[in-house]
A and B are shown apart, each in its own frame.
Chain A
Amino acid sequence: MKRINLAPGASRALVYLLATLMALWVLFPIYLVGVAAFSPRQVIYEWPKAIVPRTWSLETMLFFLNSHGVLASTRNSVLVALITLAISLVLGAPAGYALARFPFRGRDTFRILVLSTRAFPIVILSIPLAVSFIQWGMYDSLLSVALMHTALALPFTILVTSSVFAGVPYDLEEAAMTLGCNRLQAFLRVALPLTLPGLAAAAIFTFVLSWNEVFAAVILTLRNRTLPAQVLTVLNESPIPFRFAGGFFMLAPALVFIFIIRRYLFNLWGRVVK
């Protein structure tokens, strides 16, 4: 990895100071809502609030989790995210593989077509889709939300998997084929194992995308809410402890997932750019 020498010598200290300040800018708000989420109820209503907590408690978090609809919508969110990542990978990975491996007519056109979907506010398409889903009798189902989320994730999955496959030399597959594998076997036994970490990172990112998405989810569901849709619809009428615990509960997976995929971020986003 190429590095840029920002400033030599004594001003390195300043660079570290700046980096630390930036890190605090990101972390401090998360810390604050975390403190609120694990404070007992009456502490949350206290003012002025203590920045360093004196007591820890699961009361607020349990109050949120036991609130009406929260557990069911959490389950829905996980299911929608899993369906989304399954469909996106099953549809997108073959397309990504084709882009990475075959020089065929129309390849650039297809790549540009996929890239240009980024110029459209895809989430907004959930309004016409909702009307269609009502006509097709699919409204308010987890599958319909997952299909919408797949539309959101698929262009991304295609481009990312294509860059992941492009990262494994084709020679390896060719070698396997000269040793008697057919194309599918060469893919399954040679290319797939090598690309598995990259594909897993793409899958995790798709999961996060779906887990976080709220506009389409709230438009496309009525009773079968996903977690963000459920929280959003009751948010402005709900008590403060509910909001703080809900906010932390929804962001917590990001802390883990981003850590797991941090090495792949540039493959995920950087290469998509080209």
Chain B
Amino acid sequence: MNLKRINLTPYLLLLPSLIFLAFFFAWPMIQAFTLAFQSGDGQWTLAHVQRMVQDVAFDDALRTTLILIVAILPLQFILALIMALLVQARLRGAGLFLYVFAIPLGISDLAAGIIWFSIFTERGYLTSILHSLGLIDKPFIFLNYQTPGWLYLAVVLAEVWRATAIIMVILVAGLQSIPRDYLEAAEVFGAGLFDKVRRVILPLLRPSLQVALILRTILAFQVFAVVLALAGRGMSVLASEAYRWYNSYRNPNVAAAYAALIMFLSIITTVLYLRALYTREEAMKL
């Protein structure tokens, strides 16, 4: 047997996906920047970015996207943690609960937006329930750009409803890797439920929480169809502006500037998260 020979098999197996990712991942990423920062004759320019920033919808879109992230993520993590603990809590029918909690994982943002539209629309289920409770006597318009508070509430609920499942699954996988001994030890020392969660489960769950946080934040920067389904044009976010510039204004350059902005924000957030959690871990080792 010739040990010196490098085994080429694994490289040949990787090659097709590497080529594909180069073509359809790396290349369009570079293209996004050239579209956003070059004029038609190949000169570098900030004209498209200026046009994006000066557009009347820009400030709103950026602010709305950030507000949604700040409002949605904490709720999702609390809910996902409760669901994950319930799935792991030795319940009868735990498999059924897991299935039900995971259903939204397979539901699109568009369908989720429509589901919550059926609840929040003027003559929808929420006004009907409020009516049967005697709280209102005629239909009420929640989804109106003049009442942004209600619009935000509807979008936040729809996003929390839809995208909590993925965090839950990641957290359950994390919980499964926590050794039983740790929890039993905590019980021996008289730890109650909240102490167990706070002092044993959450610290050990940190890697899973970190991954879920990064994944969810990046997805939240791209929030799109939920907003369109619930608010129509009454609310704009970064991705819906990118879509509008591409589709309605036929301007791929400004659309690409939005894409580049979303990419930039995603990368910055990832780096910040990683650094915050990395330094803490380093500090713990010292």
Please give the residue numbers on chain A whose beta carbons come within 8 Å of chain B beta carbons, in ascending order: 1-7, 15-16, 18-19, 22-23, 25-27, 29-30, 32-33, 36, 45-51, 87, 90-92, 94-95, 97-98, 101-102, 104, 107, 110, 117-132, 147-148, 150-151, 154-155, 158, 183, 208, 211-215, 218-219, 228, 231-232, 235-236, 240, 243-244, 246-248, 250-251, 253-255, 257-259, 262, 265-266, 268-271, 273
Contacts and interface: CB of A to CB of B under 8 A. Distances in A.
Interface string B241-256: 0110011000010011
Contact of A25 (B10, B35, B161, B252): B161
Given A22-B83, A95-B17, A102-B10, A124 B173 contact: no
Contacts of A258: 99, 102-103, 105-106
Contacts of A7: 193
B278 interface: no
Contact of B173 (A3, A215, A236, A266): A266
A236 to B, nearest CB: 5
B266 A120 contact: yes
A121 B221 contact: yes
A224 to B, nearest CB: 15
Interface stretch (B50-58, B66-74, B119-127, B144-152): B119-127
A259 B10 CA distance: 35
Interface string B20-43: 110011011101100100000000
16 contacts: A4-B183, A5-B89, A36-B118, A49-B124, A98-B9, A101-B10, A102-B13, A124-B242, A127-B32, A132-B31, A212-B107, A212-B110, A228-B225, A235-B114, A254-B104, A271-B173
Given A22-B101, A214-B224, A265-B102, A6 B85 contact: yes
B263 interface: yes
B175 interface: yes
Nearest to B234: A236
Contacts of A3: 88-90
A214 B115 contact: no
The secondary-structure label for the interface of chain B is helix
Contacts of A270: 169-170, 172-174, 176
Given A95-B13, A123-B222, A254 B180 contact: no
A23 B100 contact: yes
Contact of A4 (B25, B88, B102, B161): B88
A248 B125 CA distance: 15
Contacts of A130: 246, 252
